Amino acid sequence: MFNYLICIPLFPALGALINGLLGYKFSKRVVHDIAITAIGVSFVLSLKAFFQLLSLPPDQRVVEVILYSWIYSGGISVDVGFLLDPLSAVMLLVVTGVGFLIHIYSTGYMHEDESYWRFFTYLNLFVFAMLLLVMGNNFLMMFVGWEGVGLCSYLLIGFWYDDHANADAGKKAFVVNRVGDFGFILGIFLIIVTFGSLRYLEVFDKATTLLPYGGTLATAITLLLFVGATGKSAQIPLYVWLPDAMAGPTPVSALIHAATMVTAGVYMIARCNVLYSLAPFSLGVVATIGALTAIFAASMGLVQRDIKKVLAYSTISQLGYMFLGVGVAAYSAGIFHLMTHAFFKALLFLGAGSVIHAMGGEQDIMNMGGLRKYIPKTFIVFLIGTLAIAGTPGLSGFFSKDEILWQAFSSPHGHPLLWLIGTVAAGMTSFYMFRLTFLTFFGKERMDEHTKHHIHESPNSMIIPLMILAVLSVIGGYVGVPEALGGSNHFHHFLEPVIKKVGTTQPHHYSHALEYGLMAISVGIAVVGFFIAYTFYIKNPQLPVSLAEKMKGIYTLLYNKYYVDEIYEFIFVKGCKGLGTLLWQKFDVLVIDGIVNGVGAIVQYFGGIFAKIQTGSTQNYAVGILLGVVLIISIFIF
Amino acid sequence: MQGIPIISIVTFFPLLGVLILFMINKENERVLKGVAFVIALIDFIISLPVLFYFNENTPGFQFTEMYVWIERLGISYFVGIDGISLLLFVLTTFLVPICILCSWTYIHKNVREFLICMLVLETGMLGAFVALDLFLFYVFWELMLIPMYFIIGVWGGQRRIYAAIKFVLYTLFGSVLMLVAILVLYFYVGSKTGDYTFNLLKLYENIPPYEVQIWLFAAFALSFAIKVPMFPLHTWLPDAHVEAPTAGSVILAGVLLKMGTYGFIRFAMGLFPNATQASIPFFVALSIIGIIYGALVAMMQPDVKKLVAYSSVSHLGAVMLGLFSLNREGIEGGIYQMLNHGLSTGALFIMIGMLYERRHTRLIADFGGLTKQIPVFAAFFMVVTLSSIGLPGLNGFIGEFLIFAGAFKANTLWAVLGVTSVILSAAYMLWMFQRVMYGPIVHEENKKIKDLNLREIMTMVPIVIMFFVMGLYPNYFLRKMHLSVNEFLNRYNKHVTMSIENKNIVNEQVKGGK
């Protein structure tokens, strides 16, 4: 009944294969027709899967389809198989839905690019890998997707490889992700050794009996897996690759580096919720890293000048929120924010792409301003995105962010401090997003005349996906309206069968009044962020300049991203290179070869007598070989 | 299949080619190459029945042939294949035609002699994988050495003589010790049992005591460790690779290095289990050092070929780590990784050779921005790079995964240290790829180079297909190993636990005596 599940990843794979092998011969139209059809079919099938799942009673919403036995060796047996349950259904819809819109958008955005077919090949390939990641029925399938999306991210960040900066950014993304994967694969090994299986259903089933609550084993497994998540989902300390990843084409930033791939870590934790719930220490680590990343990245976003960099730091910060959510065991809240964030952040990135498109490639917001008159459609959708991410009541970001903040406060794994950090970061989010909007669309027009002359609204192929995403950013939150606001949180209930109850910790009971209070505070602080941005960038544009002068130290520190890149470069990159050179030049060449050549010299001295045999003529050597062969054969015969 | 001496036919068929080559005018390059290619291709085709008719439900040796050779000395021509050697055997017949194809325009000097060397080498390699008589094994082992020496020394680059002599010096040093060890084992077992024989299966039955084993093991292990090569005996490899012509490098990396790892599992570990057990920490330490050391040094190489050579040190370190994990995952992963390394590193050398033919340089700094110029090459090079760094879905991942899973089972720390290679390999390979293929074209010469021709594409396609087949459906290959690896481990564990029990008994007796 669910056998068609295989087709969901298969179609993008076929699309990538066809375009990859023959795309250079096709016209642009044929290329994107193939790519869009591929992901379109995936999306339709995902919808079908979703509704079919919905028609089943909640406790039966788990479907496993095994394709074939992939690796069998010793105690390891891994299948290629797929799992459909509410969690993967949500991810399927996000990936194929947002992916579909971004494919359409790309036909407009990438239209002038000479490597059009290569772009769509990679895009399809990415969707394929991402679908393997979210649909796999075991940890190794997840890892295949995990590495696969990493590869596509590498290829797409370095898409314009003529410039070494782009190629560098791609390589950095891949290598930093591999650091995370180092932990992830060790986590997988520990799961194999512990459970003798990598199949989710089996592992999660056995977890409660095999892993004692709070035990070292559960903590070790979950922390190792989380190392992988910090890489893929750009959390402290491995977030450094994501800002650089903006070197890729903007649709890539929207699809891979905002809506889907970077949320893989959140998905992973939600998927392994049983394991994490058994390891409260790990949960604490996840929540703390998430909260710290949220505020740390937001602070760097305050002063960036590149429109995409602001959004990049914003993404890191929002991913921090998601980890804060899953880190206080509010798994469905984390996934809820993952979904709404996919809507509004894809919207913001694609909107930024529309701005960049209009400005003829300009990305520095200091060279923009007043654009709302020139590109009104883009302005409106971008403003909706800003309002959604800033947590304006009624829009999608409000519901999901507030659920996370409330859980950070009220969950048995939560802490008022976590709530406080999250709330302050929310204020910063509001500030940097309105700063971005004001600097781009309001105020003085700071671009040169030539650019101004060419500003134009984007084609419909770009505007229509933006509008759809804008609508989703507005209404996307209503599937998860909290009970305190009179909703029934469908989203939460839909995911419930996936989230296993573990341990005996009872949730605290707080009054709705407290929830309203905290909600009011977070809305209030967002409003404060808005007003500061308004004062700085609309009412009194001289103020931020003089402020930056006065607080030069902090400003420089933030603008240079706390010099983390430089520190990493010095310690790890320089360190490895230095060590490599040292070992090669000193140990290999001097020590080992010194000994070898020394021995050789001695041998040569005594071997001088035999030198006469070495005539240098291959004829003689060949005869020698022949004689040897004849000799061997003759020994055989006689 | 009964009654047909298929293994001997496959093994000695290339020598028939040698005879044919002698009959052809040495000036007629194209015909010579064509004939050699066809011979190698036919050899590959007739080796396929070995793969297809291999019975994976029996652990023992199959297709065995045994003829008395020198009866007085207990030497016999005894060959056979099991799940450990089967795939290496087929890998060899698979790679040789590809090697001849990639030498098509590379070799112009003494073409006939070159092809003869390749074919003799093939017989030597195939023979070494199937020999079940220690004396016969030694004959084949030495038979490989000579043509390889010539391939490096005659058709090599600038410093070919140095590289060739270094190669021979290193290898002979080990071989001589191994020969002594073979003879000592022969006389020792003979004197104990009265049956003087080089028959490997009989020797498996008569394991000498630990005190004898340890010395014999040391000699065998040294010889094989040089071949692998294990740190710190690896310095012949970068020189040999850099100087060797493409085909030489492919064979060297693809098959000859596996002689070392194969030798370990078949002979050193198989014949001397207790000595192996005692030296696990030592060899694991060297393997792990090799993994990390090879990767770090590879990163800084200015010459692409040297970079790949050092990456081989790293990869082969991983193979050794798998073998010395001494569990099924580790050993099967190790064998699988031998095949992977043969394919992916072989492919890397072929591609570097293609670049060299176009630009007559291998220095990374001389390239840059090639992707725009030669997109087909770039696509193949990317896939090969990804295979080498173990991307899931391609072959390399399966081997690495099983090796490190096995290592993890044996000892967590080994895996933690070994897995660092996933980071380092990505770093050095992608950095190299970027400097060669990405960025702007800075050297004028690079604007004129041509993309791959049909022959070159045809050289790469079979390898790339195998990357995917082995990455997506590894069970076909793993299945053939299971029982033989089990058999190896059972025999190994029997001896190791027996000796532990004996020790315990002795200890108890000593305690009791007090």
Please report residues of B whose CB lies closer than 8 A to that of A179.
Answer: 423
Name the residue in chain B with its Cα closest to that of A602: B169
Report the residue from B154, B333, B397 with minimal CB separation from A618: B154
Residue A512 CA, chain-centre distance (Å), reads: 35
Q: Where are the beta strands (DSSP E) in B55-153?
A: 62-70, 75-81
> Would you say B339 and B273 are in contact if contact means Cβ atoms under 8 Å apart?
no
> Is the CB of residue B105 less than 8 Å away from at least one CB of chain A?
no
What tokens appear for A85 in the block? 């349950």
In the predicted structure, residue A617 carries a pLDDT above the cut 80? no
Is the CB of A621 less than 8 angstroms away from the CB of B408? no
Is the CB of B406 less than 8 angstroms away from the CB of A74? yes
Is the CB of B332 less than 8 angstroms away from the CB of A74? yes
Is the CB of B402 less than 8 angstroms away from the CB of A73? yes
> Is the CB of residue B145 less than 8 Å away from at least one CB of chain A?
no
Tell me the shortest Cα–Cα distance from A432 to chain B, in angstroms. Answer: 34
DSSP state of A423: H
Bridge partner list, A66: A81
CA distance A266 to A322: 7
Confidence at residue A549, expressed as pLDDT on a 0 to 100 scale: 85
DSSP B147-169: HHHHHHHHH--TTHHHHHHHHHH
CA distance A73 to B482: 7
Confidence at residue B512, expressed as pLDDT on a 0 to 100 scale: 46
As a whole number, mean pLDDT of residues B464-477 equals 95
Which B residues 329-358 touch A at CB under 8 Å?
329, 332-333
In a mutagenesis test of the A interface, which of B87, B296, B465, B478 is the best target, namely the one with the most A β-carbons within 10 Å? B296
CA distance B300 to B428: 8
Confidence at residue B173, expressed as pLDDT on a 0 to 100 scale: 81
Name the residue in chain B with its Cα closest to that of A154: B430
Is the CB of B426 less than 8 angstroms away from the CB of A158? no
Work out the pLDDT band at A325, boundaries 50, 70, 90: very high
As a whole number, mean pLDDT of residues A153-182 equals 91
Please report residues of A whose CB lies closer than 8 A to that of B150.
Answer: 618, 621, 625
Report the residue from B165, B166, B296 with minimal CB separation from A583: B296
Tell me the shortest Cα–Cα distance from B294 to chain A, in angstroms. Answer: 9
In the predicted structure, residue B497 carries a pLDDT above the cut 90? no
In a mutagenesis test of the A interface, which of B8, B231, B297 is the best target, namely the one with the most A β-carbons within 10 Å? B297
Tell me the shortest Cα–Cα distance from B285 to chain A, in angstroms. Answer: 17
What tokens appear for A197 in the block? 């299986």
- What is the share, in percent, of chain B residues with pLDDT greater than 90? 68
Confidence at residue B71, expressed as pLDDT on a 0 to 100 scale: 84
Phi and psi at A80, nearest 5°, equal -90, 110
Confidence at residue A451, expressed as pLDDT on a 0 to 100 scale: 85
> Is the CB of residue B144 less than 8 Å away from at least one CB of chain A?
no
B99 contact partners, CB below 8 Å, separation of at least 6: B40, B118, B246, B247, B250, B251
Is the CB of B408 less than 8 angstroms away from the CB of A163? no
Q: Is the backbone peptide bond immediately before B229 cis, with ω within 30 degrees of 0? A: yes
As a whole number, mean pLDDT of residues A527-551 equals 88
Is the CB of B401 less than 8 angstroms away from the CB of A592? no
In the predicted structure, residue B260 carries a pLDDT above the cut 50? yes
Name the residue in chain B with its Cα closest to that of A179: B423
As a whole number, mean pLDDT of residues A14-20 equals 94
Q: Are strands A63-73 and A76-84 parallel, antiparallel or unpaired?
A: antiparallel
Is the CB of B117 less than 8 angstroms away from the CB of A625? yes
Name the more confident of A560 and A184.
A184
CA distance B401 to A282: 26
Name the more confident of A506 and A517.
A517
Q: Classify residue B338 as left (phi > 0), alpha (psi -120 to 50) or beta.
A: alpha
Confidence at residue A632, expressed as pLDDT on a 0 to 100 scale: 56
DSSP B426-438: HHHHHHHHHHHHS
- Report how far apart, in Å, the C-alpha atoms of B36 and of each of B66, B115, B156, B252, B350 are: 29, 7, 20, 19, 18
As a whole number, mean pLDDT of residues B306-332 equals 95
Is the CB of A186 less than 8 angstroms away from the CB of B416? yes
Is the CB of B419 less than 8 angstroms away from the CB of A182? yes
> Is the CB of residue B371 less than 8 Å away from at least one CB of chain A?
yes
In the predicted structure, residue A447 carries a pLDDT above the cut 70? yes
As a whole number, mean pLDDT of residues B124-129 equals 95
| Relative orientation angle of helices A307-327 and A264-271, to the nearest 10 degrees | 10
Residues A271-288 pLDDT 10s: 999 999 999 999 999 999
Confidence at residue B161, expressed as pLDDT on a 0 to 100 scale: 85
Residue for token digits 């290999």?
A588
Name the residue in chain B with its Cα closest to that of A632: B139
Which of the residue ranges A150-154, A600-604, B224-228, B476-480 would you say has the lowest mean pLDDT?
Answer: A600-604
> Would you say A447 and A437 are in contact if contact means Cβ atoms under 8 Å apart?
no
What tokens appear for A369 in the block? 């301003």
What tokens appear for A497 in the block? 């069968």
> Would you say A22 and A46 are in contact if contact means Cβ atoms under 8 Å apart?
no
Is the CB of B401 less than 8 angstroms away from the CB of A577? no
Please report residues of A whose CB lies closer than 8 A to that of B301.
Answer: 584
Which of the residue ranges A126-130, A168-172, B498-502 would you say has the lowest mean pLDDT?
Answer: B498-502
> Is the CB of residue B292 less than 8 Å away from at least one CB of chain A?
no
Tell me the shortest Cα–Cα distance from B409 to chain A, in angstroms. Answer: 7
> Is the CB of residue B56 less than 8 Å away from at least one CB of chain A?
no
Is the CB of A164 less than 8 angstroms away from the CB of B440? yes
Name the residue in chain B with its Cα closest to that of A171: B430
Taking one residue from A and the other from B, the number of pairs with CB-CB distance under 8 angstroms is 170
Residues B428-438 pLDDT 10s: 999 999 999 99
User: How many Cβ atoms from other residues are within 10 Å of residue A147's Cβ?
Assistant: 27
Please report residues of A whose CB lies closer than 8 A to that of B70.
Answer: 635
Work out the pLDDT band at B513, boundaries 50, 70, 90: very low
Report the residue from B77, B300, B398 with minimal CB separation from A581: B300
> Would you say B260 and B224 are in contact if contact means Cβ atoms under 8 Å apart?
yes
Helices (H), A328-415: 331-358, 376-390, 396-410
ipTM tops the 0.90 cut: yes
Report the residue from A69, A181, A600 with minimal CB separation from B475: A69
Using CA atoms of B196, B198, B199, B200 in order, give the dihedral in degrees to the nearest 10: 120
As a whole number, mean pLDDT of residues A441-468 equals 89
What tokens appear for A347 in the block? 């919207």
Bridge partner list, A77: A72
B441 contact partners, CB below 8 Å, separation of at least 6: B368, B369, B370, B372, B373, B447
As a whole number, mean pLDDT of residues A503-518 equals 78
Tell me the shortest Cα–Cα distance from B371 to chain A, in angstroms. Answer: 9
CA distance A500 to A519: 28
Is the CB of B440 less than 8 angstroms away from the CB of A163? yes
Work out the pLDDT band at B270, boundaries 50, 70, 90: very high
> Would you say A473 and A396 are in contact if contact means Cβ atoms under 8 Å apart?
yes
- What is the share, in percent, of chain A residues with pLDDT greater than 70? 94
Is the CB of B401 less than 8 angstroms away from the CB of A185? yes
Is the CB of B440 less than 8 angstroms away from the CB of A162? yes
Confidence at residue A121, expressed as pLDDT on a 0 to 100 scale: 95
> Is the CB of residue B469 less than 8 Å away from at least one CB of chain A?
no
Report the residue from B70, B117, B139 with minimal CB separation from A632: B139
Is the CB of B439 less than 8 angstroms away from the CB of A162? yes
Confidence at residue B514, expressed as pLDDT on a 0 to 100 scale: 40
Which of the residue ranges A16-30, A402-416, A497-511, A566-580 would you say has the lowest mean pLDDT?
Answer: A497-511
> Would you say A13 and A66 are in contact if contact means Cβ atoms under 8 Å apart?
no
In a mutagenesis test of the B interface, which of A68, A72, A73 is the best target, namely the one with the most B β-carbons within 10 Å? A73
Work out the pLDDT band at B268, boundaries 50, 70, 90: very high
Phi and psi at B63, nearest 5°, equal 55, 30
Report the residue from A164, A619, A635 with minimal CB separation from B439: A164
Q: 0.90 cut: is pTM over it?
A: yes
In a mutagenesis test of the B interface, which of A113, A189, A583, A605 is the best target, namely the one with the most B β-carbons within 10 Å? A189
- Report how far apart, in Å, the C-alpha atoms of A73 and of each of A290, B330, B479 are: 38, 9, 8
